[in-house]
Amino acid sequence: MRGAKIRFILNPVSGHNRGRPWLKGFLLDFLQSRRILADLVLTESPGHATALARDAVREGVERVVAVGGDGTMNEIAQSLIHTSVTLGLIPCGSGNGLALHLGLQKDLRKALVFVCDPLSRSKAIDTGWADGRPFFNAMGMGLDAEISRRFNTLQKRGIVGYARTAGKMLLEIRPEKIRFGGDAWEDESEVLLVAVANSNQYGNHAQIAPGAMVDDGELDLVAVRPVGPLGAAALAVRLFAGSLHRSGRVRRERGRRFWIERSAPGLIHTDGETHQAGRLIKVTVQAGSLRVLVPSEKKHSSRP
């Protein structure tokens, strides 16, 4: 495979790809018909995309294209941090948070044309780190992580599945008392969830941090305090309306580093993939550490 300028890494079980047995053939036909110097490899297991991307860097590939969702994106991107290799995205996941934030095409053919165009623009974005794990879209704990854990077990995902999972978890989960802080502040509070966002959204336009930007060298911490059923419904409306930060039940802070201390070890998620972590979680940012293809006309929203 040496000599290819672009390497496509396809996760065949990511999001919508599960129902697209024809996708591999479609991609190969597109590349061959346009005589694009590219190759295609498939992931076989969790974590495989990271190894495949690492191979691409070693072989001198110029672009690595993730064909999957945020989890696939994360596995690939972590091998590209602090390299000259550019990440391209063909959003095929259930949420596609980073792709939507960047304004990338969801139409498969248009997305392919974009990532194969040698004139497509790239930019450097930030990498977040939580408990030693990289994230490029968002991380979280509490309700956030539990929803991710359950959502990842569903056969049919998408926004409807996410909403059902979130609604059920809101009735089951109990608030957790935590201490948390940043460079110049700290607090103690009961929370339903704490998220730290690099982009403005989880995916599906659910804006956890409206106005957040992936290239400003900072992260946005969002802590949601306990609410009743009516309050939860109101927060859900705000989440999709881009006004979550205006709720009195939400605290939002911006900075380059945060810490979160809880009573016991538990789950966190990074870009929707869950992991066990300790009581103390440290979150930091590495500015401008990953190059990503972005549309030239994208205009990032200003901070709220």
Q: Which tokens is 149 given?
A: 């854990």
**What is the dihedral angle through the alpha carbons of 73, 76, 79, 84, rounded to the nearest 10 degrees?**
-80
Burial track 155-184 (b if 16+ CB lie within 10 A, e otherwise): eebeeeebeebbeebbeeeebbebebbbee
Given the candidates 3.30.9.10, 3.40.980.10, 3.40.50.10330, 3.40.50.2300, the CATH classification of the domain at 6-120 is 3.40.50.10330
Look at residue 94 in the predicted model and tell me its pLDDT: 78
Distance separating alpha carbons of residues 138 and 98, to the nearest angstrom:
9
How far is CA 76 from each of CA 43, 102, 109, rounded to the nearest angstrom? 11, 17, 21
Residue ranges in the chain whose pLDDT is less than 50 = 1, 298-302
Position 294: which residue type?
A: V
Domains 6-120 and 133-288 share a fold: no
Domain 133-288 bears CATH identifier 2.70.160.11: no
Q: Which tokens is 295 given?
A: 């549309």
Phi and psi torsions of 116, nearest 5°: -90, -10
Chain length of the chain: 304
Sign of CA dihedral 24, 29, 34, 39: positive
Look at residue 153 in the predicted model and tell me its pLDDT: 59
Write down the pTM of the prediction: 0.89
Look at residue 289 in the predicted model and tell me its pLDDT: 98
Look at residue 132 in the predicted model and tell me its pLDDT: 96
Q: Are 101 and 200 in contact (CB under 8 A)?
A: yes
pLDDT tens digits, one per residue of 215-244? 999 999 999 999 887 888 888 888 888 999
Look at residue 143 in the predicted model and tell me its pLDDT: 86
Look at residue 74 in the predicted model and tell me its pLDDT: 97
* N- to C-terminal Cα separation, the chain: 46
| DSSP label at residue 245 | G
The domain spans of the chain are 6-120, 133-288
